[in-house]
Amino acid sequence: MTRKLILVVDDDASLRRVMKMQLEEAGYTVALAANADEARTQITDSQPKLVITDLRMPGASGMELLAYIREQHQDTTEAGHAAHPGPRPVSRTFHPGESYVSPGRVGVLGTLRTGR
């Protein structure tokens, strides 16, 4: 596992680029994936410390990706976001700009920054 690697998963290329720039400016190493299938491969190959995923994507949803991470990669923290509402339902309602972080892992960015 790369200590400070964050994987950003979003089908919106411009949002991926913006998130990458902001996280790199904060000192993190960032990998990108356009969908859940790409993300699964990168998670297996790179073992990121944190995965930030869009919850609404074509194909496998971000919620499905979060479930995969929880089941197969317990050392990886997962976070989801919904940039805008969409027609596909998720397991609960997410509003524009709202985020989900797995319980008990809210301090992960601080942990990544300090290397603990």
Total length of the chain: 116
- pLDDT tens digits, one per residue of 26-42: 889 999 999 999 999 99
Dihedral of the alpha carbons of 48, 79, 37, 92, in degrees to the nearest 10: 160
Span 2-114: which CATH code?
Answer: 3.40.50.2300
Q: Look up tokens 């998130």; give the residue.
A: 19
Residue numbers in the chain where pLDDT is lower than 70: 1-3, 81-116
Whole-angstrom distance, CA of residue 21 vs CA of residue 68: 27
* pLDDT score, position 115: 45
Domain extent listing, the chain = 2-114
- pLDDT tens digits, one per residue of 69-83: 888 887 887 777 665
Query: How many CB atoms neighbour CB 33 within 10 A?
Result: 22
Q: Which amino acid is at 98?
A: E
End-to-end CA distance of the chain: 13
* pLDDT score, position 57: 83
Its pTM surpasses 0.75: no
* pLDDT score, position 62: 82
Task: List residues bridging with 2 in a β-sheet.
Answer: 48
Whole-angstrom distance, CA of residue 107 vs CA of residue 95: 22
* pLDDT score, position 83: 58
